[in-house]
């Protein structure tokens, strides 16, 4: 505990960390850039058929001869959107690969269009999709980065196929445990009792049913009107608890309903099933399988939806990891992403 605290304070004070697996991570090393870069356009895109009637959208930007790096978006269900994630990678050093996960973004079909097929949308299926894209592109191994849910998926992928992962850079770290899910869907309600009362009431849950289970049921089995009402109520709650983040501002326009519908359908599906990760404890229980993989875990101290205990606990069991707690920030704020860029630059310079 004291050793971790000293390392964290050293970083905040601009000092060097001890190297992890030979990787120096200095705040201002030569060739390292904390500023967002111009957004590179993809030079290749495609839809890969992966079975079960699914097609996975993928895109590549940056240097085709650079170090392969995979980005995993959050949600589940947010998709790559505008591709702003590409700004965190040095396009001269990285071959940057992004995918829209099964059921969202430009992958097909979208989850709300095929609710009866949700049983085929699991973490294990997503890992299979990632592997299919890797094999299709001829990548031997890659650095894997992920934000929020993307960090859970990155960890699960690394544990399933550690030889395919050279390093991990994770922001707003989650493991999608039941404890985490119940906190964000019920525990945070203690901070917003009025909003949570509406959220809970509109879930229509049965006695003994968790709030997230009720929303997952309605979004998967209700008629279209009821599913849309459930989606709006879910997204209203998301907007409420995220408002605790420092620097948060209300959206200037209503969210895209199709995108919000896909997000609500997928996030409730995964959260109601503990992320399909064995009671939500699988990642921590298997951390020894990736203990040798160098990783940087970046998290905001004021991430009220995902408390810092999750990355801190992972770090305690992960010798090759470095934990960076960003004071004064919430769920993936600008300084968290600045630290992400520094970490990615450091890995780009490593062997």
Enzyme catalytic residues:
148, 303, 331
Q: Which residues contact 257 (CB under 8 A, 6 or more apart)?
A: 228, 231
Q: How far apart are CA 264 and CA 267, in angstroms?
A: 5
* Strand extents, DSSP E, 157-307: 165-171, 295-300
Closest CA relative to residue 131, chosen from 103, 110, 162 = 162
Task: Give the span between the Cα atoms of 81 and 70, in whole angstroms.
Answer: 16
Side-by-side strand order, sheet with 142-147: 44-51, 54-62, 94-99, 67-72, 142-147, 165-171, 295-300, 321-326
Do residues 97 and 70 make contact, with C-beta atoms less than 8 angstroms apart?
yes
């Amino acid at each position: 505990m004291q050793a971790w605290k000293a390392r964290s304070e050293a970083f905040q004070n601009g000092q060097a960390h001890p190297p992890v697996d030979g990787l120096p991570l200095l705040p201002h090393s030569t060739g390292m850039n904390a500023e967002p870069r111009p957004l590179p356009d993809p030079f290749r895109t495609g839809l890969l058929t992966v079975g079960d009637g699914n097609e996975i959208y993928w895109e590549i930007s940056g240097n085709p001869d650079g170090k392969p790096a995979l980005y995993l978006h959050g949600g589940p269900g947010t998709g790559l959107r505008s591709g702003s994630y590409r700004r965190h990678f040095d396009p001269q050093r990285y071959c940057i690969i992004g995918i829209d996960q099964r059921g969202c973004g430009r992958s097909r079909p979208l989850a709300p269009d095929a609710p009866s097929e949700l049983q085929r949308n699991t973490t294990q299926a997503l890992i299979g999709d990632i592997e299919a894209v890797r094999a299709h592109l001829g990548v031997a191994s890659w650095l894997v980065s992920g934000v929020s849910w993307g960090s859970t998926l990155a960890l699960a992928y690394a544990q399933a196929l550690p030889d395919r992962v050279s390093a991990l850079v994770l922001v707003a770290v989650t493991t999608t445990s039941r404890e985490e899910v119940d906190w964000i869907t019920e525990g945070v309600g203690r901070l917003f009792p009025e909003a949570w009362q509406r959220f809970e009431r509109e879930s229509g849950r049965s006695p003994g049913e968790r709030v997230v289970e009720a929303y997952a049921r309605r979004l998967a089995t209700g008629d279209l009107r009821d599913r849309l009402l459930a989606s709006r109520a879910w997204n209203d709650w998301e907007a409420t608890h995220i408002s605790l983040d420092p620097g948060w501002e209300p959206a200037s326009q209503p969210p895209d309903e199709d995108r919000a519908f896909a997000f609500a359908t997928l996030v409730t599906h995964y959260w109601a099933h503990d992320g399909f990760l064995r009671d939500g404890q699988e990642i921590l229980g298997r951390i020894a399988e990736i203990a040798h993989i160098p990783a940087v875990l970046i998290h905001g101290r004021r991430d009220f939806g995902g408390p810092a205990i999750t990355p801190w606990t992972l770090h305690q069991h992960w010798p090759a990891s470095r934990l960076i707690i960003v004071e004064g920030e919430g769920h993936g704020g600008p300084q968290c992403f600045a630290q992400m860029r520094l970490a990615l630059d450091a890995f780009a310079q490593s062997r």
